[in-house]
Amino acid sequence: MQTKITKIPHDKPELIEIQCHSVSDEVREIVAFVKSRQGRVSGMADDKMYEIAVVDISYIEAVDNKIFIYTDKDVYESRQKLYELEDILKKKHFLRISKSMLLNLMKVDAITPALNSKFTAVLFSGEQVVISRKYVPDLKKALKGEIVK
Amino acid sequence: MTFKEFILSRVQVFFVLVTLILFGSAVLGEIYAPEQELRYYHMFSPILLAGACVLPTCVTYFKKEPTPLQYILRQALELAIIEVIVMLLVSPPPSYSGSETVFYITLGIMILIIYVLIEIMTWLQKYRQAKKLTEQLKVLRVKE
């Protein structure tokens, strides 16, 4: 795929246009990246496509090979893979907290110890999600402002 | 949990056990054999006993995350193994004149108390860690 950048005057709105033969996964990935840079990701609910503001997302979970985006009130299904969303949302304070979940740290009210060597993240909504022990070092790094690979 | 993390946690448990066994021995000795005199080699007993108790706790090593029920069952198994090992290694002192059953029941209760104290200490450490993480989270939110 070739790329072309054209400078435009300030009075015209900026636009990214993709000319493609078919809307492949690669194209979707590029679109998702651009949207995430603008603070939005796409999600389906009731057969309709919605643009969800990243700041509204509490967590993203993979269940039976499907990806669900949870906000305080709604649940959306995403066509993207969890690792793709992880890559896109890393810089927006999203962190992998288990094999199947990405958590928006900005939505976490407190962290409490859990019974079986894990921690629990208590969200502002009152919901609780489990942080696996394996991902605790990444959480510590993220909270210190270090880059999590 | 990686094996390295597990080994570190066992070393931690070992040192806590040494301290608590020393304390338990002092309490039991004061009750049942206050006139007993100790030699220098007796000071190795808490270390050897703690080592003997820590080694079999490897049953609690888990590579995959255990469910709460699996975790509780493994902790119960760990306690049972420690109880059996200590009962096999420790016998009433020669100067002890009471019933052996009473001695072993007291010993069993003492082990249980020590075990619960270790669990509480481990929990408190995790609680402190969680509190620190929450504080760091607040700082991060303020920065944003």
Question: Strand A57-63 relative to strand A48-53: parallel, antiparallel, unpaired?
Answer: unpaired
Distance, CA of B79 to CA of A143 (rounded, Å): 36
Residue A78 within any structural domain of the chain: yes
Query: pLDDT by residue for chain B (144 residues), tens digit each?
Result: 667 777 887 888 788 888 878 887 888 788 877 887 888 888 888 898 888 888 877 776 776 777 778 888 888 888 888 888 888 887 777 777 778 888 888 888 988 888 888 888 888 988 999 999 999 998 888 776
* DSSP string over A68-85: EEEESS-EEEESS-HHHH
- How many whole angstroms separate alpha carbon B109 and alpha carbon B103? 10
How far is the CA of B133 from the CAs of A105, A121, B136, in angstroms? 11, 10, 5
pTM score, whole prediction: 0.68
A57: its two tokens: 């997302």
- Characterize A136-148 residue by residue with b for buried, 16 or more Cβ atoms within 10 angstroms of its Cβ, and e for exposed: bebbeebbeeeee
Residues of A in contact with B1 (CB under 8 A): 117, 133-134
Q: Mind listing the pLDDT tens digit for each residue in A15-33? A: 888 999 998 888 887 887 7
Structure tokens at A23: 């809307």
Three-class secondary structure of residue A101 per DSSP: strand
Mean pLDDT value across chain A: 87
A19 in Cβ contact with A30 (< 8 Å) = no
In the numeric block, the tokens 């080592």 are attached to B51
DSSP H helix total and E strand total for chain A: 3, 10
- Residue A86 inside a domain? The answer is yes
Q: Coil, strand or helix: which one is A111? A: strand
Is A83 inside any structural domain?
yes
In whole angstroms, what is the distance from residue A60 CA to residue A43 CA? 11
Q: How many domains does chain A have?
A: 1
Residues of B in contact with A108 (CB under 8 A): 137
> Nearest by CB to A143, which of B66, B127, B140?
B140
A136 found inside a domain: no
String of DSSP letters for A80-110: S-HHHHHHHHGGGTEEEEETTEEEEGGGEEE
ipTM topping 0.95: no
- Residue whose token pair is 């919901």: A127
Q: d(Cα A105, Cα A96) in Å, to the nearest integer? A: 10
Q: By the CB < 8 Å criterion, does B89 face chain A?
A: no
Q: Does residue A55 belong to any structural domain of this protein?
A: yes
Cα→Cα distances A114→A104, A119, B68, B72, B126, Å: 19, 5, 9, 12, 9
Residue contact A115–B71, C-beta within 8 A: yes
Q: Any CB–CB contact under 8 A between A117 and chain B?
A: yes
A39 to chain B nearest CA, in Å? 14
Full residue range of the structural domain in which residue A94 is found:
25-105
What CATH number did the domain enclosing A43 receive?
2.40.50.40
Contact with chain A for residue B128, Cβ under 8 A: no
> For residues B86 and B28, what is the distance between their CA atoms, to the nearest angstrom?
14
- Does the residue A9 lie in any domain? no
Residue A79 domain-assigned (yes or no): yes
pLDDT band, residue A78 (cuts 50/70/90):
very high
Nearest to B130 among A106, A119, A144 (CB): A119
Q: Which of A116, A123, A135 to mutate to test the interface with B (most CBs of B within 10 A)?
A: A116
